[in-house]
Structure 1
Amino acid sequence: MRATRRLGSVLSLLIALLATAMVMGLLAAGLLIPAVGGAGLATNKSIDLFNGLPSTFAMNPLAQQSRILAADGSTIATPFNENRIVVPLNKVAPIMQKAQVAIEDERFFQHGGIDPKGLLRALTSNAQGGGVQGASTLTQQYVKVSLQNEALSSGNTTAARNAVAREGLQGYVRKLQELKYATALEQKYSKDQILDGYLNLVYYGDQQYGIEAAAEHYFSVPASKLNLPQAALLAGVVNQPTAYDPVNNPNDSKARRNIVLQKMYQQKIITFKQYSDASVSPISLKLKNVSGNCASSKYPYFCNYVENWLSQQPSLGKTVKARQAALESGGLTIKTSFQPKMAAILDAKLRARVPSNNKYGINDAAAMIKPGTGQIIATGQNTSYSTTAGLGKSGINLANSGFTFGSSTKFFQIVTALERNASPDMTIDVAPQTAKNADNELGTSFRYSAFQGPCYQNARGSFVIGNDFVVPTGKMTYARATAWSVNTAFTKLTEDVGMCNVVDTMVKLGLNRKDLQITPASVVLGVGLTSPIGLASAYATAAAGGMYCPPRPVDSMIDGNGKKLAISVGKCKRVMSQQVAAETTQIFRAVLNPDDHKATGYKAALANNRPAAGKTGTVSGANNIWFVGYTPQLATAVWVGHGSGSDRPLRNVPINGQLIGSGHYIFAGDLAAPMWKDIMDAALKGQPIKQFPTVPGMNTGTDTPSSGPSSPSSSSTSTQISVPNVVGQDINSAIATLQAAGFHVQVGPNRPGPQPRGQITAMSASGGSASQGTTIFIYPSSG
């Protein structure tokens, strides 16, 4: 009974409101309604109630699609909650504007938000049927859809239902508030502004919101280019988007289109001939579907990387949730550094060497970085994107996944040594392999105590490091030890320069300390974790003359209003001198020496003698293999292994039907190196051949095979002189003795030893010879 009285009260209010308004002629102007003396007490109370309803209504910014663009402007993805592209009214064809008004509200430009004639007709009908239907002006429709959208966006499903209620008391209450908001809206905004908002807001079926997205989707034209039949069809969809969807219900859609055309003719918007011609024309759709989310993108892995990166950008919001909302509804334009042509090269070359459907589940991946910028040019892998497991499928971005990186860690050891005034022609001691490890393999024994430092404390026991093949013992230059990837030499080098210093170098070149296993064997053999993006960025530092730039996929971000947003990314910074960068490059060019077939990367030598530097990386057991290298223009890391995280070795597995590798183990030089060459030759084709900067008088040592005057491993003419033994001397005396003999001196960390605290307990090149000017490392005793 109470509900019936309330319903009657609301209905009475509407009728009284309408009657008074028609007498006063005020609703057509969208004004407040004064009490009327002759209208009666009930009518005046109804008018008071209407005037007391909330009237504040703003045309809030609409949710619209964002765009993630490649460097060439092509679209990678358009993330959205609602696929909408907001455009101003002058970018909507006039015929489209007229068609929408003709079918939805032919008196739109005459009323003030409420159409009294239509409302009276609807009220008379609805009083008998019990529902609130019809009579909504275009302005009222805008209010209704806006309220529903805002409620859904905030997660208020109850408010969303109330915003479109059609039956009973709630329906009448909704209509009453809608009327009040409509009059308020008409007072605040012009008709063009309201029509603009409406055309950008409403749903046009098939997941298309707003006229621009609908025009692009159904006809592959912007809204400004819509013709008469197209405009009439779209205008007709709005009333019942599912029923009149031209894709799924073409016949009903065509019939509805012709109703719109008839309305336009009756309202003298078009001529009879225009009406006749358009009404018999077929529905000619030219569908264009956007790649909304990353899963449907042509570049899903890179797209996901970009979205994850954006979720850490403070300018998009205070929380990850807010940033995601900005991406999906803020109309952002994200310009990336991604180059589709380079990505195509990566995918083609990676799949050519390791087909995606190989039955052994071997994967590969690569990342390209532009030195001196941090820009990620491209990533690629030999799998198809899928969240469902299967042969040749993966949902994991392997270019940004962590893998053990093997001998590519030697880059960090060389940089560390050169930073401590070592010279490229300095030699490393290669001791005989007389000890055996746990697998009964020959190697050289080293004491844990010799590697102690701030990052590692262990003074007990020893460990054994071996080489992958037999190497000569004695003195070996940095270049040859690097080219041949001599583990025992680099273990000694790490001991000399201080293991913790090597770890620090890794970190300042972008590796995550938490992903590193900080033990002597792990640091020497690259047992920590890093990604192709991470290693390519680290090596790019040398190509950039010592400037490290954190990797980034985005060049610019612009919001929906055209405002440029700040990008939060670490700045490029100098982490090594230009000389150290040049010396590092000179040493690592020896790895690609095509005339030295003991060089692990000789198969990576580039076409046309293009200068390049790099390093192979084979993890013990060949679980993961790498080649990381660079030219002055481009740094690329290539990885091969099992993307599932399996530790299965790459052994006895045919690649393209052929067994490769020594003892059927696939080493980095067998597969990753030639794969890197394939990629770089194609990527750099047609680009100028640039030379690396050199350091005057720099050479790579006397024992490196000559390969011509311009080779990075050409022989040295430097004189080898005897290194005085300063063990047992105090620090100052030791420095003076070595400097008098023509050497530079670097004091290393304290080590346990039999000498009194402060006296020298160990040194590099003890009892041997080295080139004049070489840096000799000395280590005081900790007592």
Structure 2
Amino acid sequence: MVGVSAIAGLLVAALALPAVGGLGITARNVASGFLDMPSNLETPPPPQRSTIYDSEGGVIAEIFDQNRELVSIDDISPVMVDAILAIEDSSFYEHGGIDITGTMRAALRTLSGNTEGASSITQQYVKNVQIEAATSQEELEYAREETISRKIRELRYAIALEQRMTKDEILEGYLNIAYFSDGAYGIESAAQHFFGIHASELELHQAATIAGLVRYPYLYNPRFFPEQTEERRNVVLDRMVATGAITEAEAEEAKGIPLEVDLSTEPNGCVPSDQPFFCDYVVQEIEKDERFGPNETERARWLRTAGLEIHTTLDPQTQQAAQDAVDKWVPRTNESRKVAAELVIEPGTGHILGMAQSRNYGPDESKLGETSINFTTDADRGGSIGFQAGSTFKAITLAAALDEGLPYSTAFNSPTSVSVSGQRSCNGGTLATWTPSNAGDTKSSTVHNMVSGTKASSNTYFAQLQARVGICDVMEMAERLGLKRADGTLFTENENSLANSSFTLGSEEVSPLRVANAYATFASGGMYCEPQAISTIVDNQSNTTIEIEPECERVLDEEVADGVSYLLSQTFNGGTASALGIGRPTAGKTGTTDGSAAAWFAGFTPQMSSAVFVGDPRGPQQYPLRNVTIGDRYFGVVYGATIPGPIWQETMRGAHEGLEVEQLASAPSQFGSTSPPRQPEPEASADPAADAGGVPNVVGQSESDAVAALRAAGYEVNVSGTRIRSAQPEGTVAAVNPDAGTRLPEGATVNVFLSSGGGTAGAPEEDDEHWFQVQPATTPMARADD
């Protein structure tokens, strides 16, 4: 009784001071204490959904804690305003923040044992602001507590708020912050969620329905309690008649309209996105970047409540081309469980243009074709611990060699296998003798220089080039180019890496993101740029815009970068990438790891750099790319040019459509001649019969003669349907794979390619995208060298 009297005295004293003069000093003292209470309530914009956009303004995803979109009072249907005022606070435009009559009535009813609310719209707005401003569970409970103290605070804030905000501003804030049931916060989201229209388009029966939800959002949820919702709607309509907002006839007509809501589920987060892995990468970029908040919790809250407009670098054309390519060559639900992942990046900016992999986004790793791991990136951004990159790392050795001034003519005798000893690690230790091998069993040695060694992707050549340069220098070059292990450690700090002689052959576990960006450094003339997924963030809560500029620095002399680009361009000219041209200048490198555990292709034009990985996320060594059926295609062995190469080719073709053709740099003169090395004269054998064997040289022969000769030598023959440009007459044999002279086990398959005439040897026609599907039926190679 004393408590209720105190509240009544406080309300009368605070709200009607001229009328309480006869109540004595107690009311005046209470009023004085009430007015001395803190009254400066901050009213920031309420939490709203953030949107991630691609580079052309297309929506990638919306992310939110509360589904809310703010609108101005002018963009709300007038009948909606009438409905909410009628049911919640009909005297809103007359009182000073508190409905005195209603509050006194509620106090008296509470005194008699019947609890009744009496909050004006201003008071409700105050309560919601305090709830949304809470940053801890304690603050939230403080804002929601059912106590006299909380009610007094709201009253004081309401009076002060009415003195600094207009009625329309308060009503606009209330309609934007109120919860309207079923996950819809704010009037715009409610209109879209329940009726699929904007708040400005609401009609009478719709407005009355939404207005009726505020009091008890769960009880009147039309998804679960449609009958109660319709009854509540009709109560609102009756109240609108009582306030004079509508006529009885209008109310009856509205009551006759069946309650039909068009409930929609707003997609929230990355799972429903068409680009889920890129979306997840953007989310992690924000949550883990100290520029966006003092800790990860604050950054996550900012992302989900600040109504951010996050503009990204993702190019929809490139993304679509990449996704189509990886899905075509490695279907998402392939029974072999292999995965293809591709990253496309822009040289000179670091902008990520495409990020695709052949998996659906989801948490159930045991479900075929589903994963939440982003295989294109490092572990700290939602990726894996990486995969061995194979011969794509040979480009790093080339960069280190040219950086130290070695010429293109640097040559080594490059036999089938070679022993390399005396290499010293970055920690000063001496590495054990290493004996790398090439593919096959060639019968004589071949001398390679940088040009021919790159074309042939000779393991034994690059092993010796790495030894000449110094393995530590090669590792340090890799780090200059932004490469590091996908687990986050640097090569020069990782004990396993320091003891790894086969660094040049790509035995380190890395991500496609790092490989693509290293190759982009060559394409940009030696400018390294940090990978960047976000270009601009507009913060609608603070009305600020954050421009994120590329972070670039020169890490290579331009001549060195151009020199590597030239060497890598030669792989498309009779080298391991001969069939992978896209009709414009390109440079790149195939990569297949030891035992065909993983296959790669990395390459670039002046406008884009891309790296493609194909392998088995369960463990490439345990589940290699040998004797596998992927989709409806069987592969005896998957090399870098078998699947990753065509994925890269189709992606780059699609991504470059409509772009001007730009030239790669020519070979810098400072590195000398690009001519092939002079080969040693073959030594005559004491026993002529000893020189026989291996794949016969059938180049220039007719198809029938070549097939007969190869079968006579004990091999199976596959004649490719793809004809390649060649100096040989049309219809004759232009090339065989493996090369003539290679010793293979009896019964192995030799691939034969016929000439289309009118061209240079080793250049397959670009219009056939299936050239590399054919693989040997048996696998004679202990180590791939592409």
Q: Does 1:629 align with 2:611?
A: no
1:315 to partner: Cα distance: 3.2
**For residue 215 of structure 2, what is the amino acid of its counterpart?**
N
Specify every segment of 5 or more residues in structure 1 that has no aligned partner in the other structure, as ranges: 1-7, 434-442, 710-783
Structure 1 residue matching 2:637: 3-state secondary structure: coil
Q: Distance in 2 between matches of 1:38 and 1:297?
A: 67
**Following the alignment from structure 1 to structure 2, what is the Cα–Cα distance between the partners of residues 129 and 92?**
39
Structure 2 CA distance for partners of 1:419 and 1:244, relative to 1, 3 Å:
same
1:462 aligns with 2:445: no
The one-letter amino acid paired with 1:392 is G
2:511 corresponds in structure 1 to 531
- SS of alignment partner, residue 141 of structure 1: helix
- Residues 177 and 199 of structure 1: CA distance in aligned 2, closer, same or farther (over 3 Å): same
1:14 aligns with 2:7: yes
Q: What is the identity, as a one-letter code, of the residue corresponding to 1:496?
A: R
The separation in 2 between residues aligned to 1:630 and 1:283, in whole angstroms, is 59
Indicate if the aligned counterparts of 1:482 and 1:591 stay in contact, CA closer than 8 A.
yes
> In structure 2, how many angstroms separate the alpha carbons of the residues matched to 1:289 and 1:73?
22
Alignment-mate amino acid for residue 358 of structure 2: N
SS at structure 1 position matched to 2:434: strand
SS at match of 2:634: coil
Amino acid at match of 1:564: T
TM-score, normalised by the number of residues in structure 1 = 0.79
* One-letter code aligned to 1:394: T
1:305 maps onto 2:289 in alignment: no
Aligned partners of 2:346, 2:249: CA distance in 1, in Å?
61
- Is the 2:362–2:371 contact (alpha carbons within 8 Å) kept by the matching residues of 1? yes
Counterpart CA distance in 1 for 2:198 and 2:481 is 47
Q: How does 1:652-667 map to 2 (within 5 A)?
A: 652-660=627-635, 664-667=636-639
Task: Answer yes or no: is the 8 Å Cα contact 1:34–1:47 preserved in 2.
Answer: no
Partner of 1:398: 375
1:347 to 320, 323, 331: 323
User: Is the Cα contact below 8 Å between 1:119 and 1:135 reproduced in 2?
Assistant: yes
Q: Secondary structure at the match of 1:295?
A: coil
Question: Which whole-Å CA distance do the structure 2 matches of 1:191 and 1:183 have between them?
Answer: 12
- Asked if residue 677 in structure 1 is aligned to residue 649 in structure 2, the reply is yes
Q: Which residue identity lines up with residue 416 of structure 1 in the other structure?
A: A
| Residue equivalent to 2:290 | 314
Q: For the aligned residues, what is the CA RMSD? A: 2.7
Q: Which of 185, 188, 196 in structure 2 is aligned with 1:212?
A: 188
Structure-2 change in CA distance of 1:86 and 1:119 (3 Å): same
Q: Name the structure 2 match of 1:590.
A: 570
Aligned residue among 100, 112, 117 for 1:116: 100
Match of 1:232 in 2: 208
Contact 2:602 2:612 in 1 (8 A): yes
Query: Equivalent residue for 1:292?
Result: 268
Out of 474, 497, 507, the position equivalent to 2:479 is 507
CA contact (8 A) 1:515 1:529 kept: no
**Distance in 1, Cα, partners of 2:339 & 2:6:** 72
Match of 1:136 among 110, 113, 119: 119
- AA at the equivalent of 1:137: S
Of 543, 552, 571, which aligns to 2:523? 543
Q: Which letter maps to 2:621?
A: D
Amino acid at match of 1:585: S
SS at match of 2:355: strand
TM-fit CA distance, 1:39:
1.4
Contact persistence 1:456–1:519 (CA under 8 A): no
Q: 1:117-516 to 2 correspondence within 5 Å? A: 117-129=101-113, 131=115, 133-151=116-134, 153-156=135-138, 160-161=140-141, 163-166=143-146, 170=147, 172-272=148-248, 274-389=250-365, 390-400=367-377, 401=384, 402-424=386-408, 426-433=409-416, 443-447=417-421, 449=422, 451-452=423-424, 455-459=426-430, 461-470=432-441, 473-512=445-484, 514-516=489-491
Change (3 A) 1:326 1:11: same
Give the partner amino acid of 2:82: K
SS at match of 1:335: strand
Give me the whole-angstrom Cα distance separating, in 2, the residues matched to 1:66 and 1:280: 39
Please list, as runs of the form range in 1=range in 2, the aligned pairs for 1:530-609 lying within 5 A after superposition. 530-560=510-540, 561-567=542-548, 571-593=551-573, 596=574, 599-606=575-582, 609=583
Matched, 1:27 2:15: yes
CA 1:36–1:265: 2 relative to 1, 3 Å: closer
Contact 1:112 1:186 in 2 (8 A): yes
CA change 1:240–1:641 in 2 (3 A) is same
Tell me by how many angstroms 1:494 deviates.
1.2
Task: Sort the Cα spacing of 1:262 and 1:699 in 2 relative to 1 into closer, same or farther, 3 A.
Answer: farther
1:465 partner SS: coil
Separation in structure 1 between the aligned mates of residue 206 and residue 651 of structure 2, nearest angstrom: 47
Q: Distance in 2 between matches of 1:587 and 1:646?
A: 29
| Residues 1:230 and 1:703: Cα distance change in structure 2 (over 3 Å) | farther
Counterpart of 2:618 (choices 644, 647, 664) is 644
Measure, in 2, the Cα distance between the counterparts of 1:184 and 1:685.
61
Q: 1:458 to 1:144 in 2, by over 3 A?
A: closer
Report the Cα distance in structure 1 between the residues aligned to 2:241 and 2:21, rounded to whole angstroms: 44
Mapping for residues 695-710 of structure 1, pairs under 5 Å: 695=667, 700-702=674-676
TM-score of the two chains, using structure 2 as the length reference:
0.79
In structure 2, what is the Cα distance between the partners aligned to 1:278 and 1:703? 91
Whole-angstrom distance in 2 between the partners of 1:299 and 1:625: 24
Indicate if the aligned counterparts of 2:603 and 2:609 stay in contact, CA closer than 8 A: yes
The CA deviation at 1:394 is 1.0
Contact 2:48 2:307 in 1 (8 A): yes
CA-CA distance at 1:11 after TM superposition: 0.4
Q: Is the 8 A contact 2:322 2:647 kept in 1?
A: no
Change (3 A) 1:581 1:27: same
* Whole-Å separation in 2 of the counterparts to 1:281 and 1:327: 41
1:318/1:160 Cα in 2 relative to 1: closer, same or farther (>3 Å)? closer
Distance 1:582 1:571 in 2: 21
CA contact (8 A) 2:453 2:461 kept: yes
Shift of 1:588: 1.0
- Over residues 16-75 of structure 1, what are the superposed CA-to-partner deviations in whole Å (9 max), with x where a residue is unaligned? 345x45xxxx726xxxx4795531455445445534544332323422222111122222
CA 1:118–1:460 in structure 2 vs 1: closer, same or farther (change >3 Å)? closer
In structure 1, distance between residues paired with 2:537 and 2:618: 34
Give the conservation status (yes or no) of the 8 Å contact 1:465–1:521. no
Matched residue, 1:727: none
CA distance in 2, matches of 1:603, 1:431: 25
Counterparts of 1:90 and 1:502 in 2: how far apart (Å)?
65
Tell me, in whole angstroms, the C-alpha distance in 1 between the residues paired with 2:54 and 2:195.
Answer: 24
- In structure 1, how many angstroms separate the alpha carbons of the residues matched to 2:725 and 2:272? 50
Is the Cα–Cα contact under 8 Å of residues 429 and 473 in structure 1 kept in the other structure?
Answer: no
Q: 1:430 to 1:251 in 2, by over 3 A?
A: farther
> 1:501 Cα shift?
1.9
Aligned AA for 1:546?
A: G
- Is 2:103–2:118's contact at 8 Å kept on the other side of the alignment? yes
Indicate which of 61, 64, 72 corresponds to 1:80. 64
Q: Aligned with 1:78: secondary structure?
A: strand
Distance 2:397 2:570 in 1: 16
CA contact (8 A) 1:76 1:291 kept: no
CA distance in 2, matches of 1:160, 1:520: 56
Identical aligned residues as a percent: 34
Q: Name the structure 1 match of 2:661.
A: 689
Structure 1 residues 296 and 134, CA gap change in structure 2 (3 angstroms) = same
